[in-house]
Amino acid sequence: MPAPVRKAVFPVAGLGTRFLPATKAIPKEMLTLVDKPLIQYAFEEAAAAGIEEFIFVTGRGKQAMEDHFDLAFELKATLEARGKTAELGQILDFLPDPGSIKYVRQTAALGLGHAIWCARDMIGDEPFAIISPDDLVLSETPCIKQLIDAHAETGGNVVAVEDVPREQTNRYGILDTPNAADRLARIDGLVEKPDPKDAPSTLSIIGRYVLDGEVFEHLARHEKGAGGEIQLTDAMAKLIGHQPFHGLRFEGERFDCGTKTGWLAANIAYSLARPDLAEATRETLARFR
Ligand code: G1P
């Protein structure tokens, strides 16, 4: 039985240049999806999967995120004085247990692998999850829970995967696998952002991972890969052959909220999934046919 997955890392140091000017003064992770910031969905997904420690790899200008997960004392007092019980629940119910959320700064934008490496002392050598708030998965079972359950069966490392059109392989980590069509694909190789003509498959990694702590040994070398960045994919590739490594075709629909159209589609899908908003959303959409 592999060790349980208790900790999750959230890489949230990115500048969010694709959303300028919206992200000039607020972190991109604080962009709203329906009525909650993106980062809250990622946090709640981890909490629902039983994660106990939440590690944010953050950077300059990201304080709004820390405030969001802290007690807003004045707002709480005002809502209490006005008897606004429902609103109180909205600012209190999701708050993490004191001490369970931690922040570490990535002082230079050297790549996703470097961001994850910044969390090494908080993880140690146990298996851990990674959740990128840019990727949202609308699903019955939280996507990271699906990975944790698969990891309990296979041990080693499990990443969430989905098929992409071949012309898009240069945006993702891509699997080399003998059984791409299966729910759990054995990973024989990983390539970061290959040209479509060189891609070993069209099965791509999305922003959900469960990894063995050994990956830090490879990240510590700070080797640069695609785009001159320290790539998580390259460090993961070094584990193949030493440990089980699988790609899980997760159940659910993924939205790339790192792009404007993906974020817009997610707003529509999440509104339609909300009983209190579904009908009004459908009516609004009908006006734009
Ligand atoms: C990162 C990873 C890539 C992965 C992607 C998923 O890329 O490097 O392997 O497929 O996340 O969202 P980024 O989106 O940071 O360029």
Q: Does any ligand 1 atom lie closer than 6 A to the CB of residue 112? A: yes
**What is the reported pLDDT for 124?**
93
Using 50 as the pLDDT threshold, list the residues of the chain that sit under it: none
Cα 192 versus chain centre, distance = 17
- pTM for this one? 0.96
User: What is the C-alpha to C-alpha distance for residues 257 and 29, in angstroms, rounded to an integer?
Assistant: 9
Q: How far is the CA of 134 from the centre of ligand 1 (A)?
A: 10
pLDDT for res 253: 97
The token duo for 19 is: 């959303």
Mutation test of ligand 1: which of 28, 157, 172 has the most ligand atoms closer than 8 Å to its C-beta?
Answer: 172
Q: Is 119 in the pocket of ligand 1 (CB under 6 A)?
A: no
Give residue 289's pLDDT.
81
Please give the pLDDT value at position 16: 83
Question: Closest Cα to atom 15, ligand 1: which residue?
Answer: 112
Question: Is the shortest distance between the CB of 172 and ligand 1 below 6 Å?
Answer: yes
Q: What is the pLDDT of residue 15?
A: 86
Q: Which fold has domain 7-287?
A: Spore Coat Polysaccharide Biosynthesis Protein SpsA; Chain A (3.90.550)
Contact in structure between 118 and 104 (CB atoms under 8 Å):
yes
pLDDT of residue 209: 98
Is 117's C-beta closer than 6 angstroms to any atom of ligand 1? Answer: no
Q: Is the CB of 233 under 6 A from ligand 1?
A: yes
Could you state, in order of their start, the residue ranges of all structural domains in the chain? 7-287
Q: How far is the CA of 5 from the centre of ligand 1 (A)?
A: 22
Q: Which atom of ligand 1 is nearest to the CA of 172?
A: 10
Q: Considering only CA atoms, which of 211, 51, 3, 204 is closest in space to residue 219?
A: 211
Q: Is 241 left (phi over 0), alpha (psi -120 to 50) or beta?
A: left
Separation between Cα atoms, residue 64 and residue 12, nearest integer Å: 12
Atom of ligand 1 nearest to the CA of 258: 14
